[in-house]
Chain A
Amino acid sequence: MAVLELETPVQAETRPAPRAQRRRLGGKAWQRWISPLALVVAWQVASSTGLLPTRLLAAPSTIAATAVELIQTGTLPTAIAVSLQRVLIGFAAGALSGVGLALISGLSRKGENAVDPIMQMLRALPFFGLIPLFILWFGIGETPKVLLVALAVSFPLYLNTFAGIRGVDGKLAEVARTLGLGRAQLIRHIVLPGALPQTLVGLRQSLGVAWLALIVAEQVNANAGLGYMINDAREFLRTDVIVVGLLVYSALGLLTDALVRLLERRALTWRREFLAR
């Protein structure tokens, strides 16, 4: 999971110093590439000289060649498509229920009393521990995998959206009242936009756990997808394929993270310009 970049305005005041520092480093950005490159070179040398047996870890060159081959034969694209579909469906279901429940409990005391205790109890469950039950209940098809992702996604979104709604400045609610806004308008113009920054924090956390949940679910049982590809490769000692699979997982994780950051940038312009001052 990437480090969260969102900060409250209060924290933002302490921000100029590190920002300036980063800019100074920016001029010599290539320096940051030296050590990773050196590591890859060392890895390649170790593999070529036989110091690092392929059985444990394939050489970078082999991995690159395997990646090209997996793409050309269509194995990798198919696997990615399957995994991506699981994550997307699971994420959509989890996000919908997480945000939906947060709205119910955030917008009314009754809703809070009904929903929040249950969510707090369920939150304490180690949800990867639910896999055996899920298999018993739903078999080993798509359902348990998608459900596990949905479950993992819904909690960070629920907790953050709920906190966001409750954290909306009461003074703004007073303003809304003196401006003659009704309850629906209050929610639309004040509460929801006010909760958005915190919801986006939740979104980012939930995408992180979404990929994690997928990886765990796919390790346990799968006959298609990235996890299946990795498991299958293990049986044939294909460490190159395993590494390619892992790299794809992390690339997908980074990609979704970048998407959220883009969303943040667009949705929170009102705050960004302030932080940039």
Chain B
Amino acid sequence: MATRVPGPLTLQETPAPERQVVASVQGLTRRFGERTVLDRLDLEVARGEFIALLGRSGSGKSTLLRALAGLDGEAEGGLSVTGSVAVAFQEPRLVPWKRVHANITLGLAVPNPKENADAALAEVGLSERAGAWPLTLSGGEAQRASLARALVREPDLLLLDEPFSALDALTRITIHQLVLQLWSAHRPSVLLVTHDVDEALLLADRVLVLDAGRIAHESVISAERPRHRDHPDLTSLRTTLLSALGVSPEGTS
């Protein structure tokens, strides 16, 4: 099932099954007026793959995610997404006039949406706030609700745009584990945007760095999960990634 992609984008056939591709982007270009934010970008997301996307602020990470979510009618180039997509946006974007649980079940086409929502809220540690109005949630709570709304859909492709940015260190660790758990249970492809190199190293199979409108760097991480921060492979990768981001690693480790 190909998703509807608006605008001048072209749909493509599903590739051969050996390495199933859930999303493929070819020569994707996105301009805002004079500025070219994405410049002939190529990307393939394999089924079940966990990708972390790094990049400076304003490098176009959210723009790429919007295109993958089928929300950008003005991007040019080839883009095809197979299967269902769920998004947790950079801002939580909860519907303010629906209580938290109703936000989770909105558009959820399963036999028992209520139960699934309760389970998802329990997973992100938000059961107590299920009946709350979104405007009364704290930043981190809203982010977790938004995450639950995406997770509960069990999509083929999960797009997460800095979903942990408002969480404290402890909650973040819990949610990392939760995401890894859900990922190994349902095996969706995940594209996680983050500013945190360590987060990328702990979670992803593949770390990409977006720069000047293209994927400027790619690191494959084969270390077993759960990973420890001080794993020697990770330490060297960290240095590589930081320099790819243009940061000297001193003082960060």
Contacts and interface: CB of A to CB of B under 8 A. Distances in A.
B107 A273 contact: no
Contacts of A42: none
Contacts of B125: none
Interface string A178-194: 11110001000110011
B222 interface: no
Interface in A159-196: 171-172, 174-181, 185, 189-190, 193-194, 196
Contacts of A277: 136
B133 A178 contact: no
B96 A178 contact: no
B216 interface: no
Given A174-B71, A190-B95, A270-B97, A181 B133 contact: no
Contacts of A177: 70-71
A191 to B, nearest CB: 11
B89 interface: yes
B133 A273 contact: yes
A274 interface: yes
Contacts of B107: 176, 179-181, 185
A178 B86 contact: yes
B135 interface: yes
A110 interface: no
B100 to A, nearest CB: 11
Contact of B87 (A178, A196, A274): A178
- With most chain A CB atoms within 10 A of its CB, the pick from B71, B93, B95, B136 is B95
B133 A269 contact: yes
Contacts of B176: none
B97 A274 contact: no
A270 B91 CA distance: 19
Interface in A226-277: 269-271, 273-274, 277
Given A176-B107, A177-B71, A178-B69, A194 B136 contact: no
A180 B99 CA distance: 19
A201 to B, nearest CB: 16
A189 B98 CA distance: 9
A178 B93 CA distance: 12
Nearest to B93: A175
Interface string B95-128: 1111100000011110000000000000000000
Given A171-B91, A172-B95, A189-B98, A178 B85 contact: yes
Nearest to B98: A189
Contacts of A181: 106-107
A270 B96 contact: yes
A171 B107 CA distance: 16
Interface residues of B, number: 25
A175 B89 contact: yes
Interface in B57-98: 69-71, 84-87, 89, 91, 93, 95-98
B71 A270 contact: no
Given A179-B106, A269-B133, A189 B95 contact: yes
Nearest to A172: B95
A193 B98 CA distance: 9
Contact of B71 (A178, A189, A190): A178
A256 B108 CA distance: 40
- With most chain A CB atoms within 10 A of its CB, the pick from B69, B84, B135 is B135
Nearest to A175: B93
A196 B98 CA distance: 13
Nearest to B66: A174
Contacts of A269: 133
Given A177-B70, A177-B71, A179-B106, A172 B93 contact: yes
Contact of B135 (A175, A179, A194, A270): A270
Contacts of A270: 96-99, 133-135
A246 to B, nearest CB: 40
A277 B99 CA distance: 17
Interface in A176-229: 176-181, 185, 189-190, 193-194, 196
B17 to A, nearest CB: 26
Interface string B137-162: 00000000000010001000000000
12 contacts: A171-B93, A174-B89, A179-B107, A180-B107, A180-B109, A193-B97, A193-B98, A270-B97, A270-B98, A270-B134, A271-B135, A273-B133
Interface of B: 69-71, 84-87, 89, 91, 93, 95-99, 106-109, 133-136, 149, 153
Q: What are the 3 A-B residue pairs with the smallest beta carbon separation, nearest first?
A: A179-B107, A274-B135, A270-B133
Given A178-B87, A179-B106, 17 more contacts: A171-B89, A172-B95, A175-B95, A176-B106, A176-B107, A177-B71, A178-B70, A179-B107, A179-B149, A180-B84, A180-B107, A180-B109, A270-B133, A271-B96, A271-B135, A273-B136, A274-B133
